[in-house]
Amino acid sequence: MKAKQVAKDEQKLVLALIGNPNSGKTTIFNNLTGARQHVGNWPGVTVEKKEGELLWEGRTIQVVDLPGIYGFGVHSEDAAIARDYILLEKPDVVINIVDATNLVRNLYLTLQLLEMGANVVIALNMYDELRAKGADVDTARLSELLSTPVIPTVATRGQGMKEIISQALEAAKAKGRSPLRIDYGREIEAEISDIERYLSSCPKLAEKFVPRWLAIRILEGDEDLLRVIGGFCDLDEIKTRREAALNRLESIFGEEIESLIANRRYGFIESVAKEVIRRYQATEDQASISDKIDRIVTNRYLGIPIFLLTMWMVFQFTFKLGDPLTGLIEGLFERLGELMGAWLEGLGAPKLLSSLLVDGVINGVGSVLVFVPNIFLLFLAISILEDSGYMARAAYIMDRFMHAFGLHGKSFIPLLLGFGCNVPAIMATRTLESKRDRLITILIIPLMSCSARLPIYVLFASAFFSSHQGLVTFSLYLLGIILAILMGVIFKSFLFKGESSHFLMELPPYRMPTLKSTFIHMWERGSHFIRKAGTIIFMVTVLIWVLANLPIGVEYASQESALGRIGSFIAPIFKPAGFSSWEAAVALLFGILAKEVVVSTLGVVYGVEESGLREAISQNWTPLSAYAFMVMSLIYIPCIATIAVIKGETNSWVWAALAVSYSLILGWLVAVIVYQGGLMLGLG
Partner 1 sequence: MTDAAALSSAMEDYLEAILNIAERSGIVRVTDIASRLGITKASVAQAIANLKELGLVKQERYGPIELTQRGREIASKVQQRHLMLKRFLIEVLGVDPKIAERDACLIEHAVSPQTMEKLMSFLESLQKTPGATEEGKEQGTAMPIKAKPLSDLGIGEKGRVTRITAKGSIGRRILEMGVTPGSELSIVGIAPLGDPIEVMIKGYRLSLRKEEASYIMVEVL
Q: What is the DSSP string of 346-361?
A: HHT--HHHHHIIIIII
Name the one range near partner 1 by CB under 8 A: 172-180, 393-401, 605-613, 615-623: 393-401
Q: Tell me the angle at which helices 435-444 and 640-650 cross, rounded to the nearest 10 degrees.
A: 170
Q: Which of 19, 73, 366, 406 binds partner 1 (CB under 8 A)?
A: 73
Nearer to partner 1, 179 or 221 (CB): 221
Q: Which of 8, 90, 105, 177 binds partner 1 (CB under 8 A)?
A: 105
Q: Does 256 bind partner 1 (CB under 8 A)?
A: yes
Q: Which amino acid belongs to residue 645?
A: V
Q: Which of 356, 361, 505, 543 binds partner 1 (CB under 8 A)?
A: 505
Nearer to partner 1, 401 or 556 (CB): 401
In the bound complex, what is the minimum distance in angstroms from residue 501's beta carbon to partner 1? Answer: 10
How many Å apart are CA 677 and CA 159, to the nearest integer? 68
Q: Give the DSSP H/E element, type plus range, for residue 297.
A: helix 285-297
Name the one range near partner 1 by CB under 8 A: 65-73, 90-98, 138-146, 483-491: 65-73
Sign of CA dihedral 675, 678, 680, 684: negative
CA-closest candidate to residue 137, choices 124, 148, 147 = 124
Name the one range near partner 1 by CB under 8 A: 37-45, 52-60, 394-402, 602-610: 394-402
Distance of CA 200 to the CA centre of its chain: 40
In the bound complex, what is the minimum distance in angstroms from residue 108's beta carbon to partner 1? Answer: 7
How many Å apart are CA 572 and CA 584, to the nearest integer? 11
Name the one range near partner 1 by CB under 8 A: 136-144, 251-259, 612-620, 632-640: 251-259
Q: Does 610 bind partner 1 (CB under 8 A)?
A: no
In the bound complex, what is the minimum distance in angstroms from residue 491's beta carbon to partner 1? Answer: 15
Q: Give the DSSP H/E element, type plus range, for residue 410.
A: none
Q: Which of 405, 496, 503, 519 binds partner 1 (CB under 8 A)?
A: 503
N residues, the chain: 684
Q: What is the DSSP letter of 557?
A: T
* Adjacent-strand bridge partners of 151: 123
Nearer to partner 1, 197 or 278 (CB): 278
Name the one range near partner 1 by CB under 8 A: 392-400, 435-443, 533-541, 656-664: 392-400
In the bound complex, what is the minimum distance in angstroms from residue 22's beta carbon to partner 1? Answer: 10
Q: Does 392 bind partner 1 (CB under 8 A)?
A: yes
Name the one range near partner 1 by CB under 8 A: 5-13, 45-53, 252-260, 662-670: 252-260
How many Å apart are CA 99 and CA 517, to the nearest integer? 18
Q: Does 132 bind partner 1 (CB under 8 A)?
A: no
Q: Which of 240, 247, 263, 661 binds partner 1 (CB under 8 A)?
A: 263
Q: Hey, how many other C-beta atoms are within 10 angstroms of the C-beta on 304?
A: 14
How many Å apart are CA 66 and CA 78, to the nearest integer? 8
Nearer to partner 1, 403 or 614 (CB): 403
In the bound complex, what is the minimum distance in angstroms from residue 258's beta carbon to partner 1? Answer: 6
Q: Bin 173: left if φ > 0, else alpha if -120 < ψ < 50, else beta.
A: alpha
Q: Which of 55, 88, 104, 657 binds partner 1 (CB under 8 A)?
A: 104
Q: Does 266 bind partner 1 (CB under 8 A)?
A: yes
512 φ/ψ angles, rounded to the nearest 5 degrees? -80, 120
Q: Does 399 bind partner 1 (CB under 8 A)?
A: yes
Q: Does 494 bind partner 1 (CB under 8 A)?
A: no
How many Å apart are CA 126 and CA 101, to the nearest integer? 7
Residues 614/621, Cβ–Cβ less than 8 Å: no
Q: Does 71 bind partner 1 (CB under 8 A)?
A: yes
Q: Does 289 bind partner 1 (CB under 8 A)?
A: no
Name the one range near partner 1 by CB under 8 A: 44-52, 208-216, 260-268, 379-387: 260-268
Size of interface with partner 1, in residues (CB under 8 A): 45
In the three-class reduction of DSSP (H, G, I as helix; E, B as strand; rest coil), residue 65 is classed as: strand
Name the one range near partner 1 by CB under 8 A: 11-19, 73-81, 228-236, 576-584: 73-81
In the bound complex, what is the minimum distance in angstroms from residue 304's beta carbon to partner 1? Answer: 5
How many Å apart are CA 505 and CA 519, to the nearest integer? 26
Nearer to partner 1, 177 or 248 (CB): 248
Q: Does 74 bind partner 1 (CB under 8 A)?
A: yes
Name the one range near partner 1 by CB under 8 A: 174-182, 240-248, 499-507, 526-534: 499-507
* Adjacent-strand bridge partners of 39: 50
Q: Does 396 bind partner 1 (CB under 8 A)?
A: yes
- Omega before 576 cis (within 30°)? no
In the bound complex, what is the minimum distance in angstroms from residue 149's beta carbon to partner 1? Answer: 24
How many Å apart are CA 332 and CA 439, to the nearest integer? 36
Residue 673 contacts by C-beta under 8 Å, 6 or more apart in sequence? none
CA 669 → CA 91, 187, 251, 577, 663, distances in Å?
53, 62, 58, 8, 10
How many Å apart are CA 589 and CA 664, to the nearest integer? 12
Residue 265 contacts by C-beta under 8 Å, 6 or more apart in sequence? 108, 111, 112, 182
Q: Helix/strand/coil (H, E, C) string of 520-552? A: HHHHHHHHHHHHHHHHHHHHHHHHHHHHHHCCC
Q: Tell me the angle at which helices 454-464 and 610-620 cross, rounded to the nearest 10 degrees.
A: 60
Q: Hey, how many other C-beta atoms are within 10 angstroms of the C-beta on 59?
A: 11
Site string for partner 1, 17-56 (x = CB under 8 A): ----------------------------------------
Q: Does 661 bind partner 1 (CB under 8 A)?
A: no
Name the one range near partner 1 by CB under 8 A: 101-109, 142-150, 211-219, 375-383: 101-109
Q: Does 489 bind partner 1 (CB under 8 A)?
A: no
Residue ranges that bind partner 1, judged by CB under 8 A: 70-71, 73-75, 101-105, 108, 220-221, 254-256, 258-259, 262-263, 266, 294, 298-301, 303-304, 392, 396-397, 399-401, 403, 409, 493, 500, 502-508
